[in-house]
């Protein structure tokens, strides 16, 4: 069952965006089928294609894969973006879990009660600048290499770039104290497959707007 | 820097329990260093041992590993509990991720505000019996094998057993409608390393009690 991977999700970032980034980086073309209404989601559920009744769902290599991390790990390993041995894999996993936590905070921001938004945004900025970015800045400083792990492009680099761009959308000068991350951002953005993904017209999704948030709330009963 | 892995966490289940289970299942002896106060946590944070200032932290093979999933992935791969190829790994990951979601629900149960507890419990029971357990029951039914993936013992089996036992603690008859999960539970519990871990005196931790919650909040908040 060859053919392009097929992504099932709403027409926005959410939990699928990291998957889009990774496939794009690996130079893998993919198709998307968008869930626009509650009925679309029900249909998928009734078809028995969602193992745990949830999306993301990615049809790939004859599998109907669910669970974001399972999908990302599979793609990373398949396309040699997961390090060369167990220890490199361990570091990649640690770094990716950190950026996942950070991006998770940003992703849930629009769904928090309105009166907590300012506080949550401040927390995101604090965590980004005192807990997460210093770690990656130091990693790059300590080994002086272009990539986070093993002197080679990996899932950790893609994920970090995604996190940097997302946090910059919250606060444009968020990298001001992190010169190596600034250089990293420039460098990784210039990798041809990633450069292409960053251009208008790609399958990269924009930040959530009011309309998208309302749609998501309706579809998922939030 | 050989020697036994060393686990840093509070003296309770939380996010470290799955790691204890997996090490135990793999027959790996480990040491534990318990955080009892906020000062203990801050000390670890100050001496640079915690990559993102958080526990769990496991000292293993010369690394100070953090992030529960990273630690579990490493242990599983090192001790051949992660399937034989990419596709088996994919299945294991899918099964494990769902069980992790369920564990999160169970973990947050005790810290629910009093007025939300009943509703939360009802949600857990509903998801367990309608969303999660039917999947694993069907997997076992469809292939008729002893283990979830690849006819071989893997982390998926360990983590599912852990979750089955935890849900039974919430609702003792929760497996009533799942005969294959019942026999799975017995079978996996009888694996020598796991049997040992299930005996009193092992490093398995008891469920969190209401009275322990304030102490926990003090360390982490």
Whether the pLDDT of residue B137 is over 90: the answer is: yes
Whether the pLDDT of residue B12 is over 50: the answer is: yes
Angle of helix A86-108 relative to helix A155-170, nearest 10 degrees?
Answer: 20
Q: What is the mean pLDDT of residues A188-195?
A: 98
For residue B17, the cross-strand partners are none
Q: What is the mean pLDDT of residues A113-130?
A: 95
A201 min Cα distance to partner chain B (Å): 31
Whether the pLDDT of residue B89 is over 80: the answer is: yes
* Alpha-carbon span B188 to B146, nearest angstrom: 9
Whether the pLDDT of residue B205 is over 70: the answer is: yes
Q: What is the mean pLDDT of residues B37-53?
A: 96
Which one is the CATH code of A86-191: 1.20.1050.10, 1.20.1420.30, 1.10.1370.40, 3.40.800.20?
A: 1.20.1050.10
Q: What is the mean pLDDT of residues A28-35?
A: 98
CB atoms within 10 A of CB A85: 9
B208 min Cα distance to partner chain A (Å): 25
Residue B2 binned pLDDT confidence (cut-offs 50, 70, 90): low
Residue B1 binned pLDDT confidence (cut-offs 50, 70, 90): very low
A101 touches chain B (CB under 8 A): yes
A93 min Cα distance to partner chain B (Å): 5
Contact A154, A82 (CB under 8 A): yes
SS3 of residue A31 by DSSP: strand
Residue B148 binned pLDDT confidence (cut-offs 50, 70, 90): very high
For residue A31, the cross-strand partners are A6
Q: Which domains does chain B have, with CATH numbers?
A: 6-79+198-211 (3.40.30.10), 86-190 (1.20.1050.10)
Listed in sequence order, the residues at least 6 apart from A110 whose beta carbon sits closer than 8 Å to its beta carbon are: A208, A213
Contact A56, A15 (CB under 8 A): yes
* Alpha-carbon span B31 to B7, nearest angstrom: 6
pLDDT per position as a tens digit, A130-154 = 999 999 999 999 999 999 999 999 9
How many A/B residue pairs have CB atoms within 8 Å? 75
8 Å CB contact of B61 and A87: yes
Cα-based torsion angle of the residue sequence A134, A140, A146, A147 in order, rounded to the nearest 10 degrees: -70
3-state SS string for chain B: CCCCCEEEEECCCCCCHHHHHHHHHCCCCCEEEEECCHHHHHHHHHCCCCCCCCCCEEEECCEEEECHHHHHHHHHHHCCCCCCCHHHHHHHHHHHHHHHHHHHHHHCCCCCCCCCHHHHHHHHHHHHHHHHHHHHHHHHHHHCCCCCCCCCCCHHHHHHHHHHHHHHHHCCCCCCCCHHHHHHHHHHHCCHHHHHHCCCCCCCCCCCCHHHHHHHHHHHC
Percent of chain B with pLDDT over 70: 99
Q: Which of B74, B77, B90 sits opposite A74 (nearest CB)?
A: B90
CB atoms within 10 A of CB B198: 16
Q: Which of B69, B96, B135 sits opposite A93 (nearest CB)?
A: B69
**Cis check: omega of the bond before A56, within 30 degrees of 0:** yes
The residue ranking higher by pLDDT, A113 or A70, is A70
Count Cβ neighbours within 10 Å for each residue of A136-150 and write b for 16 or more, e otherwise.
Answer: bbebbeeeeeebbbb
Percent of chain A with pLDDT over 90: 96
- Residue B214: its pLDDT value, please? 85
8 Å CB contact of B94 and A98: no
Q: Is the ipTM of this complex over 0.85?
A: yes
Residue A1 binned pLDDT confidence (cut-offs 50, 70, 90): very low
pLDDT per position as a tens digit, A46-70 = 999 999 999 999 999 999 999 999 9
8 Å CB contact of B86 and A66: no
- Residue A2: its pLDDT value, please? 61
Whether the pLDDT of residue B61 is over 90: the answer is: yes
Q: What is the mean pLDDT of residues B187-193?
A: 98
Nearest residue in A to B67, CA atom: A94
Q: Which of A66, A68, A86 sits opposite B74 (nearest CB)?
A: A86
Which one is the CATH code of A6-79+198-213: 3.40.109.10, 1.10.10.1100, 3.50.50.60, 3.40.30.10?
A: 3.40.30.10
SS3 of residue A57 by DSSP: strand
Domain boundary assignment for chain A: 6-79+198-213, 86-191
Mean pLDDT of chain A: 97
Instruction: Find the radius of gyration of the CA atoms of chain A.
Output: 18
A73 min Cα distance to partner chain B (Å): 8
């Amino acid at each position: 069952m060859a053919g392009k991977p097929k992504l099932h999700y709403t027409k926005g970032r959410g939990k699928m965006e990291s998957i889009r980034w990774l496939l794009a980086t690996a130079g893998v073309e993919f198709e998307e089928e968008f869930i626009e209404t509650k009925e679309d989601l029900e249909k998928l559920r009734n078809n028995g294609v969602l193992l745990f009744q949830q999306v993301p769902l990615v049809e790939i290599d004859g599998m109907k894969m669910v669970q974001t991390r399972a999908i990302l790990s599979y793609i990373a390993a398949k396309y040699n973006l997961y390090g060369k041995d167990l220890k490199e894999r361990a570091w990649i996993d640690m770094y990716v879990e950190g950026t996942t936590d950070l991006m998770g905070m940003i992703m849930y921001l629009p769904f928090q009660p309105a009166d907590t938004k300012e506080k949550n945004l401040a927390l995101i900025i604090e965590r980004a600048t005192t807990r997460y970015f210093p770690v990656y800045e130091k990693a790059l400083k300590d080994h002086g290499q272009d990539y986070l792990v093993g002197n080679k492009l990996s899932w950790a680099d893609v994920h970090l770039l995604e996190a940097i761009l997302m946090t910059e959308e919250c606060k444009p000068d968020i990298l001001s104290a992190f010169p190596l991350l600034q250089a990293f951002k420039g460098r990784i953005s210039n990798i041809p497959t990633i450069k292409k993904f960053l251009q208008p017209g790609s399958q990269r999704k924009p930040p959530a707007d009011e309309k998208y948030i309302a749609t998501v709330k309706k579809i998922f009963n939030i | 820097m050989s020697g036994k892995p060393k686990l840093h966490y509070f003296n309770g289940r939380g996010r470290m329990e799955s790691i204890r289970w997996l090490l135990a299942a793999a027959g790996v002896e480990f040491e534990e260093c318990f955080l009892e106060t906020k000062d203990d946590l801050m000390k670890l944070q100050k001496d640079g041992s915690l990559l993102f200032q958080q526990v769990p932290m496991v000292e293993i093979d010369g690394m100070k590993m953090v992030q529960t999933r990273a630690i579990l992935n490493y242990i599983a791969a090192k001790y051949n509990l992660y399937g034989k190829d990419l596709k088996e790994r994919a299945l294991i990951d899918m099964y494990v991720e769902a069980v992790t979601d369920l564990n999160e629900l169970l973990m947050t149960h005790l810290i629910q505000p009093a007025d939300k507890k009943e509703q939360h419990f009802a949600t857990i029971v509903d998801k367990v019996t309608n969303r999660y357990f039917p999947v694993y029951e069907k997997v076992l039914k469809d292939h008729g094998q002893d283990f979830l993936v690849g006819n071989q013992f893997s982390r998926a089996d360990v983590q599912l057993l852990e979750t089955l036992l935890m849900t039974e603690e919430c609702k003792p008859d929760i497996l009533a409608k799942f005969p294959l999960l019942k026999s799975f539970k017995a079978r996996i519990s009888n694996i020598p390393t796991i049997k040992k871990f299930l005996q009193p005196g092992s490093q398995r931790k008891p469920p969190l009690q209401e009275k322990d919650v304030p102490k926990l909040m003090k360390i982490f908040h």
